[in-house]
Structure 1
Amino acid sequence: MKYQAVMENFLLRPLGIDPLFLSGAASAARTLGTCHVVQPGQRTARPVGLFLPASWAPASGLAGSAEDLIAFARLHLGTHSGSGALLDEKQRTEMCARVPAADAFGMADGWCLGLARYGSSDGDWLGHDGTVDGGTAHLRFHQQSGTAVALTTNATTGTLMWADLVDALHELGVPVGDYRPHVPATAAVSDADRFVGDYRNGDTYFSVRGHDNGSRLRLSDGAGLIADMTLHDELVFTARRVDADEAPYTGRFVPDPSTGRAALMQLGGRSARLATAA
């Protein structure tokens, strides 16, 4: 049985979700919204196409709405009518348990099995964030109160909108968990060359190169990401896309203690090992 058929018949349909896969046959009941990019310093949204290789389908090949995300939250909360058959209480507990050895730096306050943990004044919230070219998705749910919040957008500015939504909900007395990484002060770096190189994690690779005559660093990958990097103390960096107005990524370098040169780069929940020093 194909991956899409398994998802549709054993998960999505039982949750009341009419699936819309980004590859394969189109859905007769649903259409995909047009994705948009907003460039820095501009207020005009420009339509963009999706760059989504077939191998990425299990991670980002399914389109949906905020209502669909709430259905997933209700599954994990045990309040959906199909929860007992799809994910019993023992399995829900296992999926929501923190995995201590999993480092979620730059993404969340902790990892569970497929879910992230986000700190809050009333305890951790669970959920996940996701982005594609010109679109974003955010989900949070709180086991103790049974509260769930979801947002989907069709623009790169959706990450900024999510932060505004979380702040607004806090003002209304809903302490939604979110990850706001501590970013140290900007560092005065005279030896930025020790970070330059190609970093790999499986088939995913990142390239760090000098920019503006070597005065700054620029990050790129094989999927269209181009971002200017700002170095901070403690080897932390922020990377802001040059082609889209969205929240910056936060990552860090891990040095080789014998040389002081960067050996790993942590970004987006991945640790990429230095493959080639440039």
Structure 2
Amino acid sequence: MDHLHGALRRAAFRNDVPGAQLAVWCSGEAAEFEVGEERHGSGRAVRRDSKVPIGSITKTFTATLLMVLVSDGDVGLDEPVVEYLPELRRALGPTADVLTARHLLSHTGGLHAEVVAPPAGGSAALATSVTDLVQAPGAGFSYSNAGYALIGRLIEVVTGMTWAEAVRAILVKPLGIDLAFVAGSEEASSSTASGHTVNRALSLVRPVEQDLTSVEAPAGGLAASAADLVELAKMHLAPTHGGIDPGLVDPDHLAEMRRPVPGAVPFGLADGWGLGLALFHGDGAGWLGHDGTADGTSCHLRLDPESGTAVALTANSATGSALWNDLLPELRAAGIDIAEDAPAVESGPQKPIPKDCTGTYVNGDIAYSVVVQDDELHLVVDDEPAARLAVRDGFVFSVTDLSSGTAGRPGRFLRDPRSGRIDRIQIGGRVAGRQRDVA
């Protein structure tokens, strides 16, 4: 696998990534590579233990931590969360009685995509900010940071610790790894890499700081090295295939995390979803993992329980996803055939614009407007023109970014099963409902 070091260096240079780490665990052996700088122009080299803000891969840590509590009998996956967070009943009414930890871990809880931080009271007041849902719990998949914020609060109530304290004491210390925290009062370590934005037209690479509140931390507040991510992945590999069993989670509960949740259809993100893990089938057996983007970073984790293989990439630039795509054929040449990240829209003739698709769709504070402009379908997000849409069979659409011309993750229009009218849109895994006309 030595050729991967050169491949990583070339891909980082080609995609204007200041620094990156690649870690591979295969056949019981580790291969680790680092290139570049922690912060552009600093001369501070990326090391094996450099921590990169991993964004939503934090959710896999939070989910695994909760499963430790499930294995210990402290939390029931299918018990109403309101049993632990009674304030949810005041916020959601009778719906609170059916919302479970399984729903929240699999993004089938119906919560808004983003966390609405309470004005006072911190995480203890979080549940009071959950005022409505995009769909009923269990009705389908809609990616939700708010759901993981609630899981973090649940962990705090059950353990009597802050979420950060519980992560350290219950999960990462037994795993023998040391993470950094990039939200709230937790100070990032001196080895935490900066995120970067890239203006390729002007050849500008600019460091950016992380902007995350402590309430959002369970959804995206960790920084880790690629080697740290592989250590977590080893828990989720079969011990007979190179996995490591630290004795934290019962094997049956680990298997539960890898099992696809019925109705969790993360269209455009993956082929299925378990508990804190996405499922990527590709053309063969399933890979699992998670992607994460923080402010100016892009990170990826993949694992195959059957072959005992895990791969992690951290990149301290928003262009890191392109680096990852460049590395996939290099990994394939090394015998590691990772499934593609997300289903592609079927090629074929573009369909006419559905007559009832235009309008505004909302998910919490996010507004997606679908408009016709110059005989093309366009997407406007929070009043900012974002993408051009091309409709294919089944009301699926491809997405082309207006500023860069690059293809984004596909989406789809969803119809009300009773009326047949388009009443929702799913994009980036998030479901948004059509905004009702105000009289």
For Structure 1 versus Structure 2, the TM-score category normalised by the shorter chain is: 0.7 to 0.9
CA distance in 2, matches of 1:99, 1:126: 13
Q: Partner amino acid for 2:378?
A: L
Larger fraction in helix: 2
Q: Do residues 129 (structure 1) and 285 (structure 2) align?
A: no
Map Cα deviations across residues 18-39 of structure 1 (whole Å, 9 max, x no partner). 22111223144x4322212234
Find the residue that maps to 2:236 and give its secondary structure. Answer: helix
| Shift in CA distance, 257/134, structure 1 to aligned 2, threshold 3 Å | same
Rg comparison, structure with higher value:
2
Specify the code of the residue in structure 1 equivalent to 2:398.
T
* Aligned twin of 2:216: 56
Mapped to 1, the partners of 2:288 and 2:355 lie a distance apart of 37
Cα shift at 1:258: 6.6
Q: Are residues 257 and 80 of structure 1, via their aligned partners in 2, closer, same or farther at CA, if it must alter by over 3 Å?
A: closer
Q: After superposition, what is the alpha-carbon deviation per residue over 1:209-246, rounded to whole angstroms, capped at 9, x for unaligned?
A: 53766844133259xx8621322213223345556797
Which whole-Å deviations, capped at 9, do the CAs of 1:51-96 have from their partners, x for residues lacking one? Answer: 4344321110111111111011011124565x34212212211211
Residue number among 200, 207, 218 corresponding to 1:47 in the alignment: 207
Aligned AA for 1:194?
C
Is the CA contact (8 Å cut-off) linking 1:159 and 1:246 kept in structure 2?
no
Higher relative contact order (CA 8 A, sep 6+): 2
* 1:161-191 per-position Cα deviation (integer Å, ceiling 9, x unaligned): 1112112212332111233422134635455
Are residues 138 and 214 of structure 1, via their aligned partners in 2, closer, same or farther at CA, if it must alter by over 3 Å?
Answer: same
Alignment length (residue pairs):
272
Q: Does residue 13 of structure 1 match 2:146?
A: no
List gaps (5 residues or longer) in structure 2. Answer: 1-160
**Which of 312, 333, 336 is matched with 1:174 structurally?**
336
Q: Does 1:228 align with 2:387?
A: yes
1:111 matched to 2:273? The reply is yes
- Partner Cα distance (2:177, 2:406) in 1: 29
CA contact (8 A) 1:38 1:44 kept: yes
Q: In proportion to residue count, which structure has more strand?
A: 1
Distance in 1 (CA, whole Å) between partners of 2:400 and 2:206 is: 19
The amino acid of 1:18's aligned partner reads D
Q: CA RMSD in A?
A: 3.0
C-alpha contact (below 8 Å) 1:198/1:277 kept by paired residues: no
Matches within 5 A, 1:198-217: 198-200=361-363, 203=364, 205-210=366-371, 215-217=376-378
Unaligned runs of 5+ in 1: none
Deviates more, 1:121-130 or 1:4-13: 121-130
Q: Deviations over 1:1-33 (max 9, x none)?
A: 1111111110122212222111223144x4322
Change (3 A) 1:112 1:49: same
Query: Counterpart of 2:315?
Result: 153
How far does the alpha carbon of each residue in 1:76-129 deviate from its partner, in whole angstroms, 9 at most, with x for none? 124565x34212212211211122321121111111111111124551111111
Deviation, structure 1 residue 192 = 6.7
Name the counterpart of 1:4: 164
The answer to whether 1:218 aligns with 2:379 is yes
Which residue of 227, 244, 258 corresponds with 1:67?
A: 227
